Amino acid sequence: MSRKYERLLLRPTQSYARPVAAPIYARATQDAFVFIVEDDLSMREGLVDLLESVGLQSRAFSSPTELLNMELPDLAGCFVLDIRLPGISGLDFQARLVAAGVRIPIIFMTGHADVPMAVKAMKAGAVDFLTKPFREQEMLDAVTRAIELDGMRLDSDRQAIETFARFQTLSEREREVMDLVTAGLMNKQVAGRIGVVESTVKIYRAQVMRRMRAQSLADLVRMAELLRSAPAPITSLGVMADRLKW
C-alpha cells in the first residue's frame, strides 16, 4: 500500500484562463530565468535585451533540440517558444515537455496565430499566447505571470521533497497505517485490516504523527495528498532524450 507514495505521480496542470497577477518586476526578476526558443536571430536578440533590461537571466536558442543539454536551474522561470520552429513545432515541444514531466510554464508567440492553435496551447497548459508583433509590455507581463506561477510550483515541490524525506523514516508498518488512516479508516478498522489490536494501531499512529511532524489528522491527510500528487524533480532537459524519441 505504501508504494503509491513512493511513485510520485505527475498531474499536469491545465490552464484555460490567464492568471491575474500584478506585474511586480522587482519580485519576479529575483533569482529567475527565461529560456527563449526562436529561429529568428533579430527576435532572439531583441527578447534577450528586453528581459535583461528588467534584470531577468535568459538564454536564447534557435531550436528546441539545442535545449537538451541544458541543466535546469533551481529557480522560478519559464519558456518563451515560437510556434513555428525548425525540426519540431512549439506545440509538439510543449507536448514532449509535459510527457517528460517538465512543468515549467510556457509562453507562446507566433506570427501565424489562429484560434484552434491558441486553444490547443492553452489547454495543454500554456500561460499565454502572444501574436507578433506584440508590445514589449505584453511580453513582460506574460513573463511575470509565468515566473510567479513557477515560483508557487517550486515551493510546492520543495514541500513535497521535505515531506517525502520524513516519510522515508517510517517503517513499513507505519507507512501502512498512514496509508489506511489517511484513506479515512478508523483505528478499529485499521486494526482489523492489518491484523493487530486497536491499541497497537494507536501506538503506530502516534509514531507516524510524530515522525511526519503532523499537528493533526487533517495535516497528515494533506501530507499524504502531497506525496501522491507531487512529481519527481527533473534537473536537466537531457532527461527527455532518455524518455522520448526525438
| pLDDT tens track for 115-172 | 777 778 888 788 998 988 899 999 999 999 999 999 998 888 888 888 989 999 999 9
- Note whether 184 and 145 are same-domain residues: no
Domain span holding position 176: 161-229
| Alpha carbon distance 130, 113 (integer Å) | 8
Question: Which range (47-56, 61-70, 130-139, 216-225) has the least confidence?
Answer: 61-70
Say if residue 73 is in the same domain as residue 18.
yes
State whether 81 and 194 are in the same domain. no
Which pLDDT belongs to residue 102? Answer: 81
Does residue 97 contact residue 108 with C-beta atoms inside 8 Å?
no
Comparison of pLDDT for 63 and 207, the residue scoring more: 207
Q: Do both 22 and 39 map to the same domain?
A: yes
Structural domain count, the chain? 2
My answer on whether 131 and 101 are in the same domain is yes
Q: Kindly state whether residue 1 falls inside one of the protein's structural domains.
A: no
Residue type, position 75, single letter: L
Q: What does the mean pLDDT of the chain come to? A: 80
Residue 89 CA neighbour count, 13 Å, CB half: 10
Same domain, 56 and 140: yes
Dmax (CA) for the chain in angstroms is 72
